[in-house]
Amino acid sequence: MAQEDKKPQDGEQAKQGLRRLIVTIFGSLLAAALLPLKRHAAVRTKEAEKPQVPERYLPKWGMVIDLDKCTGCGTCMVACAVENNLPLQNRHDMEQERVIRWMRLLSLSLSDGELPNGKARLMPLCCQHCDNSPCIRVCPVRATYKNDEGMIAQIYPRCIGCRYCVNNCPYTCKFFNWREPHWPDPMDSALNPDVSLRNKGVTEKCTFCHHRLLRAKEEASAGGRGVKNGDFVPACVEACPAGAIYFGDLNDHSSKVAQLLKHDRGRVFRMLEDLGTEPKVYYLMEG
Amino acid sequence: MHSGSHIQSDDRLERAALEPIVRTGAGFYALAGVLSCIVALGVYAWCRQLVYGMEVTGLNYPVFWGIYITNFVFFIGISHAGTLISAILRVTGAEWRRPITRLAEAITVFALMVGPINVLFDLGRPDRALNIFKHGSFHSPLLWDVTCIGTYLIASITYLYLPLLPDIALLRDRGTRHRFLYRFLAMGWSGTEKQKRALEVAIGIMAVVIIPIAVSVHTVVSWVFAMTIQPMWHSTIFGPYFVVGAIFSGIATLIIAMAIVRKAFHLEEYMQPLHFNFLGLLLLTMSLLWFYFTLAEYLTTFYGQEPSHIKVLQSKLTGPFAPCFWLMALCCFGIPFPILAIRKTRTVSGTVLASVLVNIGMWLERYTIVVPTLSHPRLPWTGAIYHPTWIEWSLTAGCFAGFTLLFVLFGKFFPMLPVWEIKEAEAAETARKAQALPAAQPM
């Protein structure tokens, strides 16, 4: 009898429990769905509150590589590695195909056969700094982005190392740190203090030597002006003994790069142009 | 009110369903022990990977994703067992589903727990995984994955739990062990008419809601690949192709699980050859669909002859991935199709054999989608070959063992047969017969 009395109470409890369960589940789902909206709203209001700054001139940095002048010596590779604190690679890395080179020489074979019978074309290849960049779209944590001046940057402390951006780069120009970087004794005291070191597990890439741009900006603002074409060049451009790599402001019509693209129009091409990635690295064909 | 035979069959059902929970044999400890050891090996391998970095894997340039991502897609695929069997058959009122819904729902939940862990294995910095929430960007298909899989996990846990409620209450009333646990989980279920109605409504809603969620889950998993611009990933057919593959491997997993549970728990009376026959027919349908999608995908690529795509295709048809590719074709279609198509071979052992092959084939399918594309980037690369290391294989084994272990433990705490649902069907059957008899008499 006692049990009979208890039953309806139990039923009420169960109904409440069920209801509570359903409310909790749908409530949390709804909250999860609305959270990004709220953040978007916050960003929007923050943008609205921002004081209106007058429209200022923004350079668009780009690179032109003249394949007629390039000798394939590889100095750009070395200069880049030293400038940007690329980890020292060993034989094991080479064998495992895990070498990090922000600037590398792409070898396109023109005729079959092993060297010296076969003929190959060497092309310097670094991040193409695409205007419509496939790697930015897929990053789940916004760790890679295009800055105001068109450079594609990577936020190392935020990157989760999923390698999705690397997979979506048609040029395979992003690199993953498979292990902790290592420099033997005297080398570790000669690292570039302007460039941050990357830990194992994050993705890294060519920055167009962004740290040099920052320094140029400081110097320019000390002189009371904005940064302009010719204020800085990346390490690979500086080091190229053949003077085959040009760097400058594509928006400035008087800049060397803009002039080259205008006058040598017949020789200009970009890598995998038909993908619509709009690279800012231009090549001049061998004439 | 009940007829004598009815009560007897109810008793037998309860005994069959609760026996494995009440009595624990040496076999259980041996199995759980072995599985735990394999999981421990996986944990050790992951610790090594955390300490030394991704260097310990076989990944390289340009193969940045390997068998972790393969496992991820595979496990998300088999999670589709629960939805199809349980939700679709429930919505369409297929009565034969009753003894196997619990199994299907459990497979879904455990596959969804194990699958996404593989993405964590794949991260270079798993310690920063929560950045996905802090800095999440809906531009990225990976975030679509997180959203859909998260929703699916919550929904399928609910969908497993709701039909379990009356059985938990049964355990609370009949069982002797873990009474506290069952009392807590039963949430005061007493089986009143009102409660039953509420439960029916809740299950009905969940069954409808969970179908689109499940479809969305495997669609966005495929979009992780299809949204890129890489050759043979960038395909519009990938969404439905992956969903079909998922349901395919899901049914196969369910058949294997059914055969094992049937044997181990002596449930031959409830999981009959009829169930294997029906599921075998479903598997046959999915096998044909899979073949159709695969043909459509590969023929268009082949006919187009676009250089970057054809490079990948050739590596699959005749190149280094040919053994995997042709084994996949054999396992997914070549061998299972005749086994399942002929009534004589569509027996319990026939369908189980076909299911094992299908699961091997579907794992290989995921592998031949992930790796060959990455091995052939658009710009020429020296072309490293990807060989998974023992670390990757250990983690893979750990995942499969972990999945099985969760399943085994679930079977130790909860009945694998939905007792009340089978009882309900039997009661309905008796009532129908009782009603049919007087109606047959002329007034």
Question: A242-261 pLDDT, tens per residue?
Answer: 999 999 999 989 999 999 99
Of A7, A28, A99, the CB nearest to B190: A7
Q: Quick check: B55 and A98 CB within 8 A?
A: yes
Of A159-168, A178-187, B35-44, the poorest mean pLDDT is in A178-187
Confidence band for A4, pLDDT divided at 50, 70 and 90: very low
Q: Quick check: B192 and A8 CB within 8 A?
A: yes
Distance CA B276, CA B255 (A): 7
A44 pLDDT more than 60 = no
In this prediction, residue A207 carries a pLDDT of 93
Residues of chain B below pLDDT 50: 1-3, 440-443
In this prediction, residue A141 carries a pLDDT of 93
Q: In Å, how far from its chain's centre is CA A143? A: 9
In this prediction, residue A84 carries a pLDDT of 94
Contact map slice: A 210-249 vs B, CB within 8 A: none
Q: Quick check: A158 and B65 CB within 8 A?
A: no
Contact of A39 with chain B, judged by CB distance below 8 Å, is answered with no
Average pLDDT along chain A: 84
In this prediction, residue A2 carries a pLDDT of 42
Chain B hits for A108, Cβ within 8 Å: 380
C-alpha separations of B249 from A189, A217, B79, B90, B103 in Å: 56, 58, 9, 20, 15
Percent of chain A with pLDDT over 90: 52
Q: Quick check: B64 and A167 CB within 8 A?
A: yes
Chain A hits for B60, Cβ within 8 Å: 96-98, 178
In this prediction, residue A163 carries a pLDDT of 93
Of A14, A25, A168, the CB nearest to B195: A14
* Sheet containing A61-66: order of strands: A245-249, A61-66, A281-284, A268-269
In this prediction, residue B2 carries a pLDDT of 46
In this prediction, residue B310 carries a pLDDT of 92
Q: Quick check: A21 and B158 CB within 8 A?
A: yes
In this prediction, residue B436 carries a pLDDT of 64
Q: Quick check: B229 and A168 CB within 8 A?
A: yes
Chain B hits for A132, Cβ within 8 Å: none
- By C-alpha distance, which of B153, B27, B59 is closest to B395? B59
- How many contacts does A have with B, using Cβ atoms within 8 A? 174
Q: Quick check: B381 and A18 CB within 8 A?
A: no
Write the ipTM: 0.87
C-alpha separations of B69 from A260, B108, B395 in Å: 45, 18, 12
Cis amide leading into B62 (omega within 30): yes
- Residues A23-35 have pLDDT tens digits of 777 777 777 666 6
CA angle A144, A193, A63 (to 5 degrees): 50
Chain A hits for B151, Cβ within 8 Å: 29
Q: Quick check: B124 and A159 CB within 8 A?
A: yes
Q: What stretches of B233-335 show up as alpha helix (H) in DSSP?
A: 238-264, 273-304, 307-317, 322-329
Interface test with A, best of B50, B128, B130, B206 (most A CBs within 10 A): B128
Chain A hits for B54, Cβ within 8 Å: 161, 176, 178-179, 200-201
In this prediction, residue A11 carries a pLDDT of 59
The alpha carbon torsion through B325, B328, B332, B338 (nearest 10 deg) reads 90
Chain B hits for A109, Cβ within 8 Å: 380
Confidence band for A131, pLDDT divided at 50, 70 and 90: very high
- Residues B65-94 have pLDDT tens digits of 999 999 999 999 999 877 777 888 888 878
Q: Quick check: A167 and B195 CB within 8 A?
A: no
Q: Quick check: B195 and A15 CB within 8 A?
A: yes
Q: Quick check: A161 and B154 CB within 8 A?
A: no
Interface test with A, best of B49, B60, B61, B230 (most A CBs within 10 A): B61
In this prediction, residue B251 carries a pLDDT of 92
A43 pLDDT more than 60 = no
Distance CA B351, CA B68 (A): 28
Element at B169 (helix H, strand E): helix B141-174
In this prediction, residue A279 carries a pLDDT of 94
